[in-house]
């Protein structure tokens, strides 16, 4: 058909006019923005960084939900910040870079609506990518974890982080539409994140900025296991970042007005700019959003200033804190007593129950029936009442209580650096130290005397543990009171006795041994 | 209708007291580089506010947001420096602008298809814009300008980059559009004006120094030696007179 023969196809203005709510058109435009967004081109690189930075790091943690989820804010948000900021700035600067500003400016759709559609297309991709990463992380954890479920607050904090960086980057692109804006924003996002991380890891970790930054040091290994992880700080972080995002989104609504302002013309410039831009209703909504965003961020900042350490290693904010989160999380322990010595661990750590039992059973058998000897072992929370809980023997009948932190070296296997010998010796010492030093003593704070050390070494050797040359601990007023060779010799003598002879000697001399009145020479 | 329009950029007067009233038809805007054609077109496109003077477009004052929005619904604009989104296809780019022009969603596919066909880009409808030549991109720009069947169509150097065959087709399209709409074509190619425009204005130093039909402009060139074509001689004669 020739263009000249084509009949004029005219649409009456009234038919072109649409209702105030043009959702279908907006959705169609969003579909185009989504389809032709720059984010998919960068996804392979983002996926590679995610694998090496986040997934491998999380894989090095024991499969405990709260611990694994900490990788979302500590690692995942790090890489997403740079990508999200840069990509959003690229999208925001598009009309400036591509010289389409005049063309889109002549369309009736408000500038804010246009920008919102472009922003939504980019943000949708980034949030989808973020949630896909979270899904991979959580599926991997679900396949390995033995208890609990995926915590949602780290996801909310991460999503808020991605959103705020995206909006910041987009706003930078809109206000400074240059080709270097995107890389600059990506670099600044990385620096800001690192600054937040450094603050969080510093000695003054209670600084308000450190608390508001989603970057943080990994929590204790049993965080969220015995007690709920209080969401107080997460709520404040989401509020802070959401407030910034909301305020900047509102500022985008005023972008046209702000850009047309020329300071030298003062009020005349403001009046002209207001006349040129979108209607008063949109401007009013934009101003309200800016005000709400600033108020939310300011409130979050003020709330973060009232944060104080909670009883289980987290932070609580009095105005937000729920006493319910201080209550223990009910869980039936996973137990085994195949050799008569019952060992119980929290079900979240049941993956190492058999290993723990296999290590404790031989030493428990060596001291079974002796005064103060534990009849069972039980795993407890590593922090209660704001204090670290050391391992030790307590109760009647005596029970050896240990924490997941005590199992620490065991977790090296997740990082690919297993040390089974070191772990076995250290964990067995954790039981024998308080036994030989006395029931009131706790592992970790125990300083054994030479005779006690010799007996411990002998018992460890009898339990099948290869004890290295004994060093340290045998000090009195800073001076060695017996050299390692003497201790080793006594340990070899005692270890050469039969199990029943060792047991009988211990039964008769345990009180004196604990009191420190037995010398190395007195050990048979 | 423009009344006493001025527009300055610093001390430079781009448009200096232009008053003009136009009805339907194709109106050619001629002038040398820097005459103020693009600034005038940008003001008509509601992109650039005048420093002083009054503009009424489609019987509305574009200073009011509601009126400006209604004008923009019925406006088509092709800028001199055409920008585009390289990753969009031809259809997607035109559809995007149709949606920005608030066309009813149901009418968009048909309007886009018609616009693509009018600029003879049907074979390249699914091609990414980054793969198109300069002339084809120009046609995409024209298509986005006419997709909403505007009542006021502003084209800044629309034939730049078009091959001769396409220019002939485009002039025919202009005549077709001018039957019911006001089409303002800014160009420095006088043959476009002669072939497609029913009326022409010549700008120099921000002022309109001639307004009439192409034949009247041609008549001004009688006896004037500069230019290969009669219309060019008229153009040169008017400019010389304006500068002297």
> Is there a contact between A106 and B77 if contact means CB atoms under 8 Å apart?
yes
Residues 6+ apart with CB under 8 A from A75: A53, A54, A57, A58
State how far residue B74 is from chain A, nearest Cα, in angstroms.
7
Contact with chain A for residue B8, Cβ under 8 A: no
Which are the contacts of A476, defined by CB distance < 8 A and separation ≥ 6? none
CB-based contacts of A487: which residues, under 8 Å, 6+ apart? A450, A453, A454, A457, A470, A474, A520
Residues of B in contact with A284 (CB under 8 A): none
Check CB contact under 8 Å for A3 and B72: no
- Say how far apart CA A44 and CA A51 lie, in whole Å: 11
Strand extents, DSSP E, A179-300: none
Phi-psi map region of A327: left, alpha, beta (phi>0 left; psi -120 to 50 alpha): beta
Judge: A25–B65 Cβ closer than 8 Å, yes or no. no
End-to-end CA distance of chain A: 113
Mutating which of B55, B57, B83, B126 best tests the A interface, going by the most A Cβ atoms within 10 A? B83
Tokens (6 digits) for A54: 């986040």
Residues B95-133: tens digit of each pLDDT: 999 999 999 988 999 999 999 999 999 999 999 999 999
Determine contact: B172 vs chain A, CB below 8 A: yes
Higher pLDDT, residue A385 or B122: B122
Is B123 part of the contact surface with chain A (CB cutoff 8 Å)?
no
Residue-level pLDDT at A479: 46
Q: What one-character-per-residue DSSP string does B91-159 give?
A: HHHHHHHHHHTT--GGGHHHHHHHHHHHTT-GGGTTSBGGGS-HHHHHHHHHHHHHTT--SEEEEESTT
Indicate the pLDDT class of residue A192, thresholds 50, 70 and 90. confident
Q: 3-state class of A29 per DSSP?
A: helix
Q: How far apart are CA A243 and CA A196, in angstroms?
A: 18
Q: Do B142 and B117 meet the contact criterion of CB atoms below 8 Å apart?
A: no
Alpha helix ranges (H) inside A52-180: 56-59, 65-71, 77-92, 94-97, 101-105, 111-144, 153-175
Instruction: Specify burial of residue A468 (Cβ count, 10 A radius: 0-12, 13-18, 19+).
Output: exposed
3-state DSSP call for residue A491?
Answer: helix
Query: Alpha-carbon distance A46 to A395, whole Å?
Result: 53
Predicted pLDDT of residue B63: 87
CB contacts of A18 in chain B (<8 Å) are 102, 104
Residue of B nearest to A30 (CA): B96
CA distance A223 to A173: 40
Contacts of A272 in chain B (CB under 8 A): 49
Residue of B nearest to A31 (CA): B96
How confident is residue A270, by pLDDT bands cut at 50, 70 and 90?
A: low
**pLDDT for the residue A420:** 73
Instruction: With cut-offs at 50, 70 and 90, classify the pLDDT of residue A5.
Output: very low
Cα of B211 to nearest chain A Cα, Å: 27
- pLDDT for A424-464, tens place per residue? 888 888 888 888 887 555 545 567 888 888 898 899 888 88
Sign of CA dihedral B173, B176, B180, B185: positive
Contact check, Cβ <8 Å, B83/A100? yes
Tens digit of each residue's pLDDT (9 = 90 or more) over A307-326: 888 877 778 899 998 887 77
Does the beta carbon of B4 lie under 8 angstroms from any beta carbon of chain A?
no
Which of A137 and A440 is assigned the larger pLDDT?
A137
ipTM of the complex, rounded to two decimals? 0.91
Sequence-distant (≥ 6) Cβ neighbours of residue A38 within 8 angstroms:
A87, A90, A91, A122, B87
Could you give the CA distance from residue B236 to residue B227 in angstroms, rounded to a whole number? Answer: 7
Greatest Cα-to-Cα distance within chain A, rounded to the nearest angstrom = 119
B96 and A105 within 8 Å at the Cβ level: the answer is no
The minimum CA-CA distance between A191 and chain B, rounded to whole Å, is 31
What is the reported pLDDT for B221? 84
Nearest to A106 among B47, B81, B92 (CB): B47
Mean pLDDT over residues A172-179, rounded?
92
Query: Is the per-residue pLDDT at A52 higher than 90?
Result: yes
DSSP state of A391: P
Shortest alpha-carbon distance between residue A39 and chain B (Å): 12
| DSSP 8-state symbol, A76 | I
Mapping DSSP to helix (H, G, I), strand (E, B) and coil, where does residue A52 land? helix
Is A106's CB within 8 Å of B81's CB? no
| Structural domain spans, chain A | 22-326, 331-445, 447-524
Query: What residue in B sits closest to A96 (Cα-Cα)?
Result: B83
**Higher per-residue pLDDT: A476 or A511:** A511
Counting every residue written for chain B, the total comes to: 244
Report, as an integer, the average pLDDT of A497-503.
90
Residues B240, B232 contacting (CB under 8 angstroms): no
Binary contact (A32, B82; C-beta < 8 A): no
Q: Residue A516: left (phi > 0), alpha (psi -120 to 50), or beta? A: left
Q: How many CB atoms lie within 10 A of CB B3?
A: 14
Residue A1: the pLDDT is 34
CA A104/CA B100 separation, integer angstroms: 7
Q: Do B105 and A100 count as a contact with CB atoms less than 8 A apart?
A: no
State the count of interchain CB pairs (< 8 A) between A and B: 141
Q: Is the pLDDT of residue A478 over 60?
A: no
Report the residue of A6, A103, A281 to disrupt the B interface, i.e. the one with the largest count of B CBs within 10 Å.
A103
Other C-beta atoms within 10 Å of A271: how many? 11
**Per-residue pLDDT at A76 exceeds 90:** yes
Q: Measuring CA to CA, which residue among A197, A210, A246, A184 is closest to residue A78?
A: A197
Helix (H) or strand (E) holding A431: helix A420-437
The reported pLDDT for the residue numbered A9 is 41
Least CB–CB distance from B103: residue in A16, A98, A104: A16
Chain B residues touching A101 at Cβ < 8 A? 83
pLDDT in tens, B51-65: 999 999 999 999 888
Question: Measured at the alpha carbon of residue A420, what is the angle toward residues A414 and A425, in degrees to the nearest 5?
Answer: 130
Looking at chain A, which residue has its C-alpha nearest residue B73? A108
Q: Which of residues 73-92 of B touch A (CB under 8 A)?
A: 73-75, 77, 79, 81-88, 92
Beta carbons of A183 and A191 less than 8 angstroms apart: no
């Amino acid at each position: 058909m020739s263009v000249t023969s084509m009949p004029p196809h005219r649409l009456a203005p009234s038919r072109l006019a649409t209702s105030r709510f043009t959702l279908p058109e907006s959705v169609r435009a969003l579909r185009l923005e989504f389809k032709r967004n720059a984010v998919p081109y960068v996804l392979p690189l983002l996926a590679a960084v995610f694998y090496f930075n986040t997934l491998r790091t999380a894989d090095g943690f024991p499969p405990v939900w709260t611990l694994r989820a900490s990788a979302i804010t500590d690692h995942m948000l790090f890489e997403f910040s740079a990508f999200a900021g840069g990509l959003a700035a690229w999208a925001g600067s598009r009309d400036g870079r591509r010289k389409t500003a005049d063309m889109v400016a002549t369309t009736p759709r408000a500038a804010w609506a246009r920008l919102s559609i472009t922003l939504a297309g980019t943000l949708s991709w980034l949030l989808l990518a973020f949630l896909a990463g979270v899904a991979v992380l959580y599926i991997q954890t679900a396949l390995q974890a033995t208890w609990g479920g995926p915590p949602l607050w780290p996801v909310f904090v991460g999503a808020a982080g991605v959103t705020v960086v995206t909006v910041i980057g987009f706003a930078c692109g809109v206000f400074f539409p240059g080709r270097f804006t995107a890389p600059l924003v990506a670099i600044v996002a990385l620096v800001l994140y690192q600054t937040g991380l450094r603050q969080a890891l510093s000695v003054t970790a209670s600084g308000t900025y450190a608390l508001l930054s989603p970057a943080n040091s990994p929590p204790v290994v049993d965080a969220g296991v015995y007690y709920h992880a209080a969401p107080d700080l997460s709520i404040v972080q989401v509020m802070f970042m959401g407030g910034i995002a909301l305020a900047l989104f509102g500022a985008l609504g005023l972008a046209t007005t702000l850009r047309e302002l020329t300071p030298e013309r003062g009020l005349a410039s403001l009046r002209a700019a207001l006349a040129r831009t979108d209607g008063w209703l949109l401007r009013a909504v934009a101003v309200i959003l800016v005000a709400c965003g600033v108020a939310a961020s300011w409130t979050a900042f003020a709330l973060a200033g009232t944060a104080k350490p909670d009883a289980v290693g987290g932070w609580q904010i009095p105005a937000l804190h729920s006493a319910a989160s201080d209550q223990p999380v009910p869980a039936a322990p996973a137990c085994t007593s195949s050799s008569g010595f019952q060992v119980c661990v929290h079900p979240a750590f049941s993956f190492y129950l058999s290993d723990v039992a296999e290590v404790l059973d031989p030493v428990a058998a060596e001291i079974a029936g002796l005064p103060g000897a534990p009849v069972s072992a039980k795993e407890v929370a590593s922090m209660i009442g704001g204090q670290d809980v050391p391992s030790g023997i307590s109760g009647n009948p005596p029970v050896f209580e240990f924490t997941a932190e005590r199992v620490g070296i065991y977790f090296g296997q997740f990082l690919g650096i297993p040390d089974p010998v070191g772990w076995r010796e250290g964990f067995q010492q954790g039981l024998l130290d308080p036994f030989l030093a006395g029931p009131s003593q706790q592992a970790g704070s125990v300083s054994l005397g030479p005779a006690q050390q010799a007996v411990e070494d002998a018992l460890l050797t009898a339990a099948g543990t290869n004890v290295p040359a004994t060093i340290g601990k045998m000090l009195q007023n800073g001076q060695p009171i017996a050299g390692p060779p003497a201790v080793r010799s006594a340990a070899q003598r005692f270890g050469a006795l039969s199990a029943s002879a060792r047991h009988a000697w211990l039964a008769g001399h345990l009180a004196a041994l604990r009191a420190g009145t037995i010398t190395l020479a007195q050990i048979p | 209708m423009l009344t006493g329009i001025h527009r300055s950029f610093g001390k430079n007067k781009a448009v200096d007291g232009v008053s003009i009233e136009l009805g339907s038809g194709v109106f050619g805007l001629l002038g040398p580089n820097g005459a103020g054609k693009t600034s005038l077109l940008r003001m008509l496109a509601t992109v650039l506010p005048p420093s002083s003077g009054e503009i009424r477009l489609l019987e509305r004052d574009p200073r009011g947001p509601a009126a400006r929005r209604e004008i923009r619904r019925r406006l088509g604009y092709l800028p001199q420096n055409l920008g585009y989104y390289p990753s969009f296809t031809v259809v997607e780019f035109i559809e995007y602008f149709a949606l920005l022009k608030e066309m009813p969603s149901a009418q968009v596919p048909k309007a886009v298809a018609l616009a693509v066909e009018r600029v003879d880009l049907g074979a390249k409808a699914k091609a990414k814009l980054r793969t198109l030549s300069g002339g084809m991109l120009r046609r995409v720009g024209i298509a986005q300008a006419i997709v909403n069947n505007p009542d006021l169509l502003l084209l800044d150097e629309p034939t730049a980059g078009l091959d001769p065959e396409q220019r002939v087709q485009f002039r025919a399209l202009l005549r077709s559009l001018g039957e019911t709409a006001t089409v303002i074509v800014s160009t420095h190619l006088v043959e476009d004006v002669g072939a497609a425009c029913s009326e022409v204005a010549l700008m120099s130093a921000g002022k309109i120094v001639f307004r009439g039909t192409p034949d009247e402009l041609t008549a001004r060139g009688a006896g004037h030696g500069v230019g290969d074509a009669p219309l060019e001689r008229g153009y040169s004669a008017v400019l010389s007179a304006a500068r002297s």
